[in-house]
Structure 1
Amino acid sequence: MLGRMMYQPLLISSLIEHAARYHGDTPIISKNTDGSMSSTDWAAVAENAKRFANALQALGLEQSDRVATIAWNNHRHLESWYAISGSGLVCHTINPRLFPEQLIFIINDAQDRVVIFDKTFLPLIVGVKQHLPQVEHFICLDAPDDAVREKLPEVQFYDDLIAAQSKTFDWPELDENMASSLCYTSGTTGNPKGVLYSHRSTLLHSYGISLPDSLNLSAKDVMLPVVPMFHVNAWGTPYAAAMVGSTLVLPGPGLDGASLVQLIDNYKVTVALGVPTIWQGLLAAAKQSGSTLESMNRNVVGGSACPPAMLKTFKEQYNCDTIHAWGMTETSPLGSANQLKAKHELLSPEEKTQLRLSQGRPPFGVDLRLASAEKGTDLLPRDGQTTGNLQIKGHWIIERYFGKEESALTSDGWFDTGDIASLNSDGFLHISDRSKDLIKSGGEWISSVELENLAMCHPEIAMAAVIAASHPKWDERPVVIAMKVPDSQLTENELLDYYADKVAKWQIPDKVIFVDSIPLSGTGKMLKKDLREQYGQVLMEAPV
């Protein structure tokens, strides 16, 4: 017997309709590419989304056609998102920091018919245009500009397009399982792979990240998504913000610490989201300016493990709780978020801090398990100690990659994340490392993440990466690649001595290499593959 309840498909268009109807006057603050600020609201975003949906329809696009966006976090980009997905097209967000060859591959693989871009990326567009035979339209997310038209004669301008269209548009009632957006993995090994989200998965993910035990989002929040909209859809926050009616502060291209401090203080941001490298810059800028980041009560750290020193600084110096979260492109991305349970209120401050350093526990909608790295199918206990291959399943988890027929799952329907982790009985997740970044020394495993976190606790280290370097006797040994804070006189031996009472003697790195910079991916993650290529043989030149 079926239930006797209404059925309405879970559609992205319902998010913007809800935001316009019940949170229409809630501000959307946006920093433009020229540094100026714009202020709009959810009602205007919804109106412009409808205008742009009409414009896309006038271009002859059909349902499920892909529309690429190469843009920063700003209000026009936000409007285009809702126009594209809401009208039945697929919003394909592209990381502008990719190598041109990867960008060309991604656009052609997705068969994008339209490319929407911020003016700042005009040189990139001009450089790759001749290699994109399937792209029919280029739309600049700015007002008309003769300088842009001179270099790209066929360009159309967003402001012109929406000005010529009606603000009335009937969102189609789509199948909720239709594709809504497309993101590609970082492609550190081989070509990037597409992850195709549905309206249903996106709506359920929006519920999931809004829950109190996840990011705890509400209409009271002023949200600053520093994580770019091209990085797993800004972790889903533009959708969740519409669902709950949050104010959005969109930072545009200014992701340096000083710019972020200014936005937080000027617009009273309550929650901000980004990767650890972003927060390092923010903390340095706040210290230099004397800002207390008074309005911000929590920040979300994802993309890489949060250094313990960073979590401590946010709490003790800025009274800001850090929510350590974990996820990946294939998981939409939320897989877990660190919120304590009632029983944890009895813990000491030190015990709470230790628990907060884990990646947290899964919300309803996803499940986690550990499989044996050796046997693959054997499941491991959730005892907080045993480590294994982390696998996940749920409502917003990938089933297969875009354009691929073969399943991306195990034989019993779980996605193997490539992470090595432990789980405790409450579901708290502790990522030991990416399987490809673990260091196997004399048959024993060493976590590069643990050694990196310890290095980051040293007051004279600004950033650190630990890699596996080949060793003639032990197969692999850890090597620290570190950036010192300005004016530091720290020596290699002093940093190695810092490890002495913190890890087993055999886990202490063999060498420290001080560098001026560490290569980062387009999403702010350290490129250990590049570091291994550069420094992976450094111990082979030394005596055994």
Structure 2
Amino acid sequence: MPGGTDQTLRPFLWRAERMYSDREIVSRTASGIERYDYRTYGERVARLAHALEEGGIEQGDRVGTFCWNHHRHFETYFGVPNVGAQLHTINPLLPDHHIEHIVSDANDRVLFVDPSLIEQLEGPAESEAFDAVEQYVVMDEDVPETSLSPVTDYESFIADHPTEYDWPDLDEDQPAGMCYTSGTTGNPKGVEYTHQMLWSHTMATLPASGLDIRAEDVVMPVVPMFHVNAWGMPFTSTAAGAKHVYPGPSPEPADLAKLIEEEGVTLSAGVPTVWLGLLEYGQENDLDLSSLERLIIGGAAAPESLIRTFDEEYDVEVLHAWGMTEMSPIGTVSHLKPGMEEWDDDRRDEKRAKQGLLVPGLEMRVIDEDGEEVEWDGEEFGELWIRGPWVTTEYFERPEATEEDVEDSWLKTGDVVTVDPEGYIKIVDRAKDVIKSGGEWISSVELENALMGHDDVSEATVVGVPHERWQERPVAFVVPVEGIDEEALSEELLAMVRENYPKWWTPDDVLFIDEVPKTSTGKFDKKVLRERYDDPSLVEGNVPEEAAPDATD
């Protein structure tokens, strides 16, 4: 394909600079709010490109970031890929040995690091895994005392460089980004994103069938920029010419509420725990969400109660979405089809709580344990397979993982789903989390959503515990609202499940805990609970015969 016509990220930056030059980028930092417009943003990105070039960064080199959501991190999103290098966003919440593996595996030459994360990085940086790193850049105006070396601050790094840059013509197959899976088992696996993959993902998520991002929107991604490019929203918002708002390091619900109100945020995105926290904050504080029109919720299933509360109390539409690191990441969004808005509330909310419809450009299969495709009847389970222009077909230098998870360009997602006759996908469970009791599957996700719908439950998760007769039985782990009678709540929850689900789905026990463990990306970490509570005595064979999985009722 001739130069200049390939599908790369450069045209998105060019368009925003020239056609939406006065639209703002707003960033919450440790020193206060920073703001500038796309014109200034483009000039700073050009200066960053010159700085990288002067530092010896060439096409194909990898540049790592160890950062939160802010304007300087956003500058690397276009500055690094458009010089032909590869932006490698590193999750600072991972354990040290995973960070060492990731930096070594990627062979990062430059690392950008937030001031608040320097101390955390110093330990791993002493290992041989960081031998390829030639420069550390602190995302600030000065450098605190640190053992990182050589080190400079970001503003000095880009200072005195020209505000224009002659961007090279890049091949669309040039790697532009890189992110590692969370590594729930073994070392994290690297996933590379080419310019074409990020371009395709941006174009698919821009319109109403995707995330519906428009120039008039004010977009605040709470989902971390180190996690699959903040679901691609920095790219998509730039392509649209929208205003960006970045919440900075470790935002509390009060920080998010203030930014939404003061900056007029219309669209935000994050995992369910973020929005549950915002709702809890609103119970005791004034919460002005009048500007907010839409919330994108992904990373874990959004309970119907959460969707309904935002809709009924704040007039905010919740768009349930699903994706994976391997998919750049958006795969589905739960938009209602024409006519569904007229349905009754329960039927409509049930549809909106599903992961939704496949984004245009992707194809899917649902494969059962026998390797056959299942019917789209909303009942049959199977593993979801996906393929498309922004779906990876190989892991970085992990051929054994590629062989296991990819078959003839189809990505085996590991998600167990049903698909209803209208084409809406519902994630029943991760393949590793589904509970198999007496030869039948129990959806831990569906039970969790039911439990979290109770007013006296703050968080809940369900895991399978080994059982001598039934193979596995579900046990619920619940974080109650403060001051609640746990014994009474346990009885209420079990009765609620028995009333709405087959008897054999009812958890054998409800255990109350202070907090559900979270992964580095904010998802419930069932692995920790399994390891902590892997005790068959938790289930004492108290499943009555009439509640067995093969019962006719």
Q: What TM-score results when the alignment is normalised by the length of structure 2?
A: 0.94
Map 1:161-172 to 2 at 5 A. Answer: 161-172=157-168
Q: Distance in 1 between matches of 2:497 and 2:423?
A: 30
Residue pair 1:307, 1:456 contacting (<8 A) in 2 also: yes
Residue pair 1:214, 1:338 contacting (<8 A) in 2 also: no
Give the equivalent residue in structure 2 for 1:309: 305
Identify which range, 394-403 or 530-539, moves more after superposition.
Answer: 530-539
Q: Distance in 1 between matches of 2:186 and 2:406?
A: 21
Q: Does 1:375 align with 2:373?
A: no
Give the equivalent residue in structure 2 for 1:415: 411
Residue pair 2:202, 2:232 contacting (<8 A) in 1 also: yes
Residue pair 2:209, 2:360 contacting (<8 A) in 1 also: no
2:532 to 531, 534, 544: 534
Give the equivalent residue in structure 2 for 1:388: 382
Q: Does 1:24 align with 2:21?
A: yes
- Give the AA of the match of 2:365: R
1:342 alignment partner, SS class: coil
Q: Does 1:142 align with 2:140?
A: yes
**1:542, CA displacement in angstroms?**
4.2
Q: Gaps spanning 5+ residues in structure 2: where?
A: 543-553
- Give the AA of the match of 1:537: D
Q: Distance in 1 between matches of 2:47 and 2:425?
A: 44
**1:348, CA displacement in angstroms?**
2.0
**1:405, CA displacement in angstroms?**
4.2
Residue pair 2:326, 2:392 contacting (<8 A) in 1 also: yes
The number of residues matched between the two structures is 536
Q: Does 1:285 align with 2:281?
A: yes
Residue pair 1:389, 1:418 contacting (<8 A) in 2 also: yes
1:244 to 240, 243, 254: 240
**1:35, CA displacement in angstroms?**
5.0
**1:541, CA displacement in angstroms?**
7.4
Q: Distance in 2 between matches of 1:266 and 1:484?
A: 33
Identify which range, 261-270 or 346-355, moves more after superposition.
Answer: 346-355
Q: Distance in 2 between matches of 1:249 and 1:113?
A: 29
2:486 alignment partner, SS class: coil
Q: Distance in 2 between matches of 1:490 and 1:295?
A: 38
Residues 411 and 499 (structure 1), Cα distance of their counterparts in 2 relative to 1, 3 Å cut: closer
Map 1:37-436 to 2 at 5 A. Answer: 37-131=33-127, 132-145=130-143, 147-148=144-145, 150-372=146-368, 374-376=369-371, 378-405=372-399, 407-408=402-403, 410-436=406-432
Q: Does 1:501 align with 2:496?
A: no
- Give the AA of the match of 2:26: I
2:192 alignment partner, SS class: strand
Q: Distance in 2 between matches of 1:541 and 1:384?
A: 30
Identify which range, 170-179 or 533-542, moves more after superposition.
Answer: 533-542
Q: Does 1:9 align with 2:3?
A: no
User: Deviation digits for residues 419-450 of structure 1, max 9, x if unmatched?
Assistant: 01012343211110001001111111100001
**1:412, CA displacement in angstroms?**
3.3
Give the equivalent residue in structure 1 for 2:546: none
**1:540, CA displacement in angstroms?**
5.3
User: Deviation digits for residues 472-513 of structure 1, max 9, x if unmatched?
Assistant: 221110001110112222322232223221111111000111
- Give the AA of the match of 2:240: V
**1:165, CA displacement in angstroms?**
1.1
Residue pair 2:62, 2:87 contacting (<8 A) in 1 also: yes
**1:140, CA displacement in angstroms?**
0.7
Identify which range, 160-169 or 46-55, moves more after superposition.
Answer: 160-169
Q: Distance in 2 between matches of 1:443 and 1:266?
A: 54
Give the equivalent residue in structure 2 for 1:523: 521
Q: Distance in 1 between matches of 2:213 and 2:165?
A: 29
Residue pair 1:10, 1:203 contacting (<8 A) in 2 also: yes
- Give the AA of the match of 1:154: P
**1:410, CA displacement in angstroms?**
4.4
Residue pair 2:509, 2:538 contacting (<8 A) in 1 also: no
1:316 alignment partner, SS class: helix
Q: Distance in 2 between matches of 1:371 and 1:541?
A: 31
**1:380, CA displacement in angstroms?**
1.7
Q: Distance in 2 between matches of 1:459 and 1:14?
A: 48
Taking only aligned residues, the RMSD between alpha carbons, in angstroms, comes to 1.7
1:488 to 484, 487, 494: 484
Residue pair 1:471, 1:540 contacting (<8 A) in 2 also: no
**1:538, CA displacement in angstroms?**
5.0
Residue pair 1:194, 1:402 contacting (<8 A) in 2 also: yes
- Give the AA of the match of 2:500: K
Provide the identity percentage: 38
Q: Distance in 2 between matches of 1:153 and 1:401?
A: 31
**1:194, CA displacement in angstroms?**
0.5
Q: Distance in 2 between matches of 1:436 and 1:461?
A: 25
Residue pair 1:275, 1:301 contacting (<8 A) in 2 also: yes
